[in-house]
Chains A and B, each alone.
Chain A
């Protein structure tokens, strides 16, 4: 596991939250003070307050994609809105590239949004009176770019999201998937470092959603942004995330890589989500890897450590000897036994099973 947890402690976090709280109600500051840092959602609700975000602390590094997953009312969107400062947090600290977001004045905030942030919305939030091109050019024009520049840049964006030929359409003339492509293009027009996506694919049909997820992964592989992605769909989170934060009642229940969440759910709540997840789709070879014994004879087949089990299972199982595992430098660092792969594929899901791995 240590292999994939890239050493980042030396690097500065792009987004950093420290014990962030958001409480809705008449006088949330006072209520929070009284609670002495142990916020109980139930107690607050009885007092007429709603806890949106409860003591959230985490960091997101450059090029990292953190997916915040939770059911409706779990506070995932509130968390995102706090970090984009669309909602003012009640208490806590947020740092964007080391700068204190919450102490920024309006002007600084606008500067930040114009240059560093882009956001995609669930219901697209396109300006109905502007064409596709004008919508995409909007953040540039707001920033003060000349018409010529902004139109040129927007046309690149139109091409990037595959909407060429439709730049003069109005949002109402587009399908949902196409509208969200416009939303994505708009959020990328100013070339932001940080990309917020608030349930961007939830309003789309399943097939379109899959298509858009693939499109999104393609874009991210080109652009390599720092991403905060909110969704209520666990499968989507597994598919896209570098790390997942699972939220319930404003609390981050667990924040870890998809594999670790599936293998070691921290709470009962998280476990419920992971129960039905086909683990071969989440786990990588390294999670079933055993240490290399010198005497052992290996098969000719070698698999990379970060391949999904699903992708290589058939090959591994068709070998009679154990299969070697390669690291990034094509060096054999361990072996995979087919028994382990079989147990991932067909084994019963028990709570102590994970310990065996």
Chain B
């Protein structure tokens, strides 16, 4: 029935458009574009630079702050993101829906206490609460970090409840001590942490009726997560720092295939390939290691581990020290059992360095030659080589600066700078220019004759990792933050040319608007949906009427795409409804009016038997014959 009717219309080549009767204005479907539809990103920090990550994203009428970082290179107001841009009146509670922290590094969390306790934000804050390691899945990890565990014990997940919520107060406390003038107190840190809601990976958190957030494993450091946020049809992912290649401690970032409008990705150290450095043992020759207090994380332990390896192999007797007075972590490393004064060290003891203890515990007794001990100030000028871990790593002050002043002038010494050094710190000066004089503070200068070694094995993602992630997620737009400008420019070109995805890298305090996916909610009847999901059958183009094949031969199954056809009924008072063609008329309460064709052609009737009229299978029975001597073949719907 359907095929013959369709053939008839093709035959007559009817083309029609209904432009005459369009009724756009009357249709409730075409809602005016509301201002909420676009995704707006206000970059408050880490725009074309590294430091103080902070992006405020407006999505579907919700406003989310991703990270709230501190810039360690500045000591003035530039240290913090310019929060006044979020709300002029300072009423942050109504201006923001929530704050999401990806991980505990200070350039991602450092300004949080200032924001909540000084600026007065009281809304919800989300960070990861705990991770469970699927250790058995990562055998290397198992061997390297947990030698005391046997395979049997590993059948249970091992809870590492450290992540961001547990580590954040320690980091904040650390940063508070390093500040020249105290911006907030320890109590304020505790107060701030009370406002934090802990989330688990993959847990879908319904922040309010519309906003949904979800954390995905990001690798990088303990507790680091990428956050997915969805409002209505618009969805974004903010990565924070992540790594796409598993290292000795943490697995690679894992995320589901998601349909995204925007991916905001960190690209710090985007040009460094992490693994190459690990295989390079050359850095073992140094006599002084200034470790990274603020960036203390697995990089630190990685270093310990590699050194132990080396010490044992080379049978070295050089002592290794930790600057205990400044760094609570080192304290704990040196004596895991004692010195648990106050909750900070206790938490540290239990959670953060549980791994480290296992690490140290397993190799200190075996390698008797390694002397991990507390560093006394008197050792600074003692003779003989030694290795010292001191903090902070960027030599922005504190104990590491003190040691630096003493040791830098001698060419025998070596300073290894692990991790990234923010502009404005001594570490950055050492890294960037090869000058022999370094400004320390406003007046003091230090002659630098020692060797400088930059250990770029901070577990940030590399360029390939970034590209892999973008390719995997295939968002409609990409925004690059937390990286240096030249890298961003290079990466943008690569993303746009290789992947064909629009990319931007806004500067600090600028706003970017990105179109979001929009859709209209309609109802659909059962038969509409069912017809849509069934494969369509379509007429083949070479349907030759002369070849007398059965109807099935005229049909060709369309491969792949299932094209849905139906009719959308828009009523002013109700939600628009998609119906199947057959359902329309009952809905409207009307009867169908058929248009039939009677094709007339002259037929010579020389013999009564020779020409039998060919009749279409669907002849209209009551069509009136015409007066002319013609045989009528009718085709109808």
A associates with B: no
